[in-house]
Amino acid sequence: MCGVSGIYAPRFAPVDRAAVVRMTRTLVHRGPDEEGFHFALGIGLGHRRLSIVDLASGQQPLCNEDRTIWVAFNGEIFNYLELRRDLVARGHQFSTSSDTETIVHAYEQFGLQFVEHLNGQFAIALWDERARRLLLVRDRVGIRPLFHATLPCGDLLFASEMKALLAHGALQAELDPVGLAQTASFWVTVPPRTSFKGIEELAPGSMLIVDNEGRRTLSQYWRHRFPDANDYEDRPLDYWVGETRQLLHDAVTLQLRADVPVASYLSGGLDSSIISALVKRFHKTDLRTFSVSFADASFDERAYQQRMAHYLDTLHTEIDVDASAIGERFSDVVWLAERPLMRTAPAPLLSLAGLVRRNGIKVVLTGEGADEVFGGYDIFREDKIRRFWAREAGSAWRPLALSGLNEFVRRDAKMEQLWREFFRKGLEQVADPFYSHRLRWEGGAAMRRAFSGELRAQMPDEPQLLEDLSAYLDPDRDRWHPSCRAQYLEMTLFMSCYLLNSQGDRMMMGESVEGRVPFLDHRVIEFAARIPPRYKIRGLNEKYVLKRAFADLLPREIVERPKKPYRAPIVSCFLADKDNLAAELLRRPALEESGLFNAAGVDSLLRKVTNKGVASERDEMIIATVASTQLLNHHYIRARSPRRTVVADCTGERVELT
């Protein structure tokens, strides 16, 4: 796992080598072990390495036999052994045993289609000297990040994180009001847009080619596909259960490939329990597991985590996190995530990655992706219930299914009648392409009120935002089953644009730990898309096929427990009694100084929640967003050079100039 960065100067222009070095070194946390560069006329490739496969000879950038194809890459190609065998049989000569080298030879062999042969999580920068073109490629669902920006002179900058692009010096960091508006409504920025003007995110599953004239060709080589709503294979439940079991077993087997020890996370839920059980039962008898627990019992899952660790007999280590720790860590979290955050939930995951690293582990498997791929989230069940209710909107008993659905319904049983009214909103608009997510996204208007008049004036209105979003999404999705449409939105937006980076890659790489996500092996995703929706969520029993597939590997109370979303405290982390940078930046003078927010409104919101001691979900999201945007401004807009309070160890440097 690593960090890549570089500059491509079309038309044989010289490259600013010092800038490439500067950019690359901002990514030291992604790759503390080694450093490498390749420079030639028009191209500079930089690489920071976290050594995991082929420790001795896997340095990058790496080239082919005649040094005409160069690759700097972040990630893992899990099927590299099979791919290598295939390429050797076709006459290719390998000089290392790294997975990186398979990329070079696969490109020689298959041309631009090489990416279809890769099973992995990757962000690749590939320089083809003969064709004089640069390829930027990102894995199918965006497990690994990749950004780029084009300077007025035509130079293309690219890097694993935006901080490296800003370190070039020619880009002025400025918040993008459209990106902020998207975040307020959809909770993410929609690629290619980012939080910063002029910086683009390469969309998951796509490839950008830049030729010697500076012409850009963007193509999508993979996308989520579902059968048409009335076109499912007629197979028994047992088939889907059996295939799921076998496929996931194989995904875990591939993802255990590493030349360093691999551990796994235990959240206390079903998904990470399945992954840990598969590893322990079939592969590693000495598995180490890691968990985060909360001082506040309402967020804490340690009883389930310990139950699972005991059941599997793993060497288990946990870290206890409280509101003070989250408040203190939040500054680093935003520096790493490079975006406004509606939640503090990434912070405990950064602490957890730190724990893993201190225990000498570089690689962990996680259960991420199962809820999206196999239908685990409340929003899918909510969609199903509302559609069921909408078929007879006057029914008194149809909406009864809503109770027990959501945490807040359970918390405020008294308010059930009003809750029902909330879910009735837009109930009968079942043809709405955003039916499943519309209620969630309507919080955007409230969120916008937190921003200053000046910023709000630059934000597009809701219809415009939805139109832009539609252009990014698959035009065929109205042919899919409604559940699949909901899954698709959740995977494409919240998973790929938030969870996998802000709660995934960025937090783990912040502590130089590589995360692997077997549920997001593309074969698993493609297979699960074919499972009939009535099996995925049976009645209201979520992830039914997955539960059936692995029930015998897990204790019953883990399989049958009610699902609990992973959350962390928000308001208490930033209140006035807390001595941390985020709390400081939430004070009235700091709000007025940044000019980004409706300072009076935010101030009165903070006073309200301080006095009451509780906050609504919407208020919490506003406070987290304001705190994180203030930090983003502090780290990247105000301070010209990005900074961080903790920097990973940096050892071993290798600079190769050719």
Partner 1 sequence: MKTDAEIRDTIRKFVIENFLMGDGSAMPADDQSFLETGTIDSIGALELVEFLEGALGIQVKDTDLVRDNLDSVDNLARFVGRRLVGG
Nearer to partner 1, 235 or 607 (CB): 607
Q: Does 41 bind partner 1 (CB under 8 A)?
A: no
Minimum CB separation from partner 1 for residue 189, in Å? 22
Q: Does 600 bind partner 1 (CB under 8 A)?
A: yes
Q: Residues 514 to 533: which contact partner 1 by CB under 8 A?
A: none
Q: Does 443 bind partner 1 (CB under 8 A)?
A: yes
- Phi, psi values for residue 149, rounded to 5°: -150, 145
Q: Which residue has the tokens 């990416």?
A: 115
CA–CA dist 178, 194 (Å, integer) = 9
Nearer to partner 1, 442 or 467 (CB): 442
Q: Which residues are registered as beta bridge partners of 124?
A: 73, 137
Is the alpha carbon torsion for 75, 80, 86, 92 positive or negative? positive
CA–CA dist 35, 73 (Å, integer) = 12
Nearer to partner 1, 446 or 650 (CB): 446
Nearer to partner 1, 318 or 462 (CB): 462
Q: Residues 238 to 277: which contact partner 1 by CB under 8 A?
A: none
Binder to partner 1 among 604, 641, 645, 658 (CB under 8 A)? 604
CA–CA dist 610, 307 (Å, integer) = 36
Nearer to partner 1, 561 or 588 (CB): 588
**Are 325 and 367 spatial neighbours (Cβ–Cβ below 8 Å)?**
no
Q: 615 by DSSP, 3-state: which?
A: coil
Q: 595 by DSSP, 3-state: which?
A: coil
Binder to partner 1 among 95, 172, 429, 616 (CB under 8 A)? 616
Nearer to partner 1, 414 or 556 (CB): 414
Minimum CB separation from partner 1 for residue 260, in Å? 46
Instruction: Give the list of residues 6+ apart from residue 468 with CB closer than 8 angstroms, or none.
Output: 190, 460
Nearer to partner 1, 233 or 442 (CB): 442
CA–CA dist 411, 367 (Å, integer) = 27
Is the alpha carbon torsion for 360, 48, 114, 54 positive or negative? negative
CA–CA dist 102, 108 (Å, integer) = 10
Q: Which stretch binds partner 1 (CB under 8 A): 228-236, 308-316, 581-589, 608-616?
A: 608-616
Binder to partner 1 among 608, 638, 643, 654 (CB under 8 A)? 608
Instruction: Give the list of residues 6+ apart from residue 57 with CB closer than 8 angstroms, or none.
Output: 95, 96, 97, 98
Minimum CB separation from partner 1 for residue 419, in Å? 5
Q: Does 12 bind partner 1 (CB under 8 A)?
A: no
**Are 491 and 499 spatial neighbours (Cβ–Cβ below 8 Å)?**
no
Nearer to partner 1, 411 or 563 (CB): 411
Nearer to partner 1, 160 or 185 (CB): 185
Q: How many CB atoms lie within 10 A of CB 87?
A: 22
User: What does the per-residue mask of binding to partner 1 show for 399-428, with x meaning CB under 8 A?
Assistant: ---------xx--x-xx-xxx-xx--x---
Q: Does 567 bind partner 1 (CB under 8 A)?
A: no
Q: Which residue has the tokens 């896997």?
A: 58
Q: In this structure, are strands 133-138 and 206-210 parallel, antiparallel, or unpaired?
A: antiparallel
Q: Which stretch binds partner 1 (CB under 8 A): 40-48, 270-278, 463-471, 599-607?
A: 599-607
Q: Which stretch binds partner 1 (CB under 8 A): 37-45, 46-54, 297-305, 612-620?
A: 612-620
**Are 306 and 553 spatial neighbours (Cβ–Cβ below 8 Å)?**
no
Nearer to partner 1, 410 or 534 (CB): 410
Binder to partner 1 among 198, 433, 460, 601 (CB under 8 A)? 601
Q: Does 342 bind partner 1 (CB under 8 A)?
A: no
Q: Which stretch binds partner 1 (CB under 8 A): 473-481, 565-573, 586-594, 595-603?
A: 595-603
Nearer to partner 1, 13 or 446 (CB): 446
Minimum CB separation from partner 1 for residue 441, in Å? 10
CA–CA dist 111, 99 (Å, integer) = 18
In 3D space, the residue among 154, 146, 159 whose CA is nearest the CA of residue 207 turns out to be 146
Binder to partner 1 among 233, 428, 432, 442 (CB under 8 A)? 442
Residue 61 structure tokens: 């950038």
In 3D space, the residue among 142, 171, 143 whose CA is nearest the CA of residue 156 turns out to be 171
Per-position b or e across 107-127, b if 16+ CB within 10 A of its CB: bbbeeeebbebbbbbbbbbbb
Q: Which stretch binds partner 1 (CB under 8 A): 55-63, 311-319, 440-448, 531-539?
A: 440-448
Nearer to partner 1, 422 or 472 (CB): 422
Determine the size of the site formed for partner 1 (CB under 8 A). Answer: 29
Q: Does 605 bind partner 1 (CB under 8 A)?
A: yes
Nearer to partner 1, 154 or 601 (CB): 601
Nearer to partner 1, 281 or 425 (CB): 425
Nearer to partner 1, 198 or 443 (CB): 443
208 to each of 156, 166, 168, how far by Cα in Å? 11, 20, 21
159 to each of 31, 212, 349, 509, how far by Cα in Å? 13, 20, 23, 14
Question: What is the phi-psi region of residue 320: left when phi exceeds 0, alpha when psi lies from -120 to 50, beta otherwise?
Answer: beta
Instruction: Give the list of residues 6+ apart from residue 613 with CB closer than 8 angstroms, or none.
Output: none
Q: Residues 170 to 229: which contact partner 1 by CB under 8 A?
A: none
Nearer to partner 1, 73 or 299 (CB): 299
Q: Does 618 bind partner 1 (CB under 8 A)?
A: yes
Minimum CB separation from partner 1 for residue 409, in Å? 8
Minimum CB separation from partner 1 for residue 414, in Å? 6
Q: In this structure, are strands 156-159 and 2-8 parallel, antiparallel, or unpaired?
A: antiparallel
Binder to partner 1 among 51, 185, 598, 633 (CB under 8 A)? 598
Residue 352 structure tokens: 């957890």
Minimum CB separation from partner 1 for residue 540, in Å? 20
Minimum CB separation from partner 1 for residue 455, in Å? 14
Measured distance between the N- and C-terminal CA atoms of the chain, rounded to whole angstroms:
24
Minimum CB separation from partner 1 for residue 388, in Å? 20
User: What does the per-residue mask of binding to partner 1 show for 444-463, with x meaning CB under 8 A?
Assistant: -xx--xx-------------
CA–CA dist 352, 265 (Å, integer) = 9
Q: Does 88 bind partner 1 (CB under 8 A)?
A: no
Length of the chain: 658
Which residues of this chain interact with partner 1, rule CB under 8 A?
408-409, 412, 414-415, 417-419, 421-422, 425, 442-443, 445-446, 449-450, 598, 600-602, 604-605, 608, 615-619
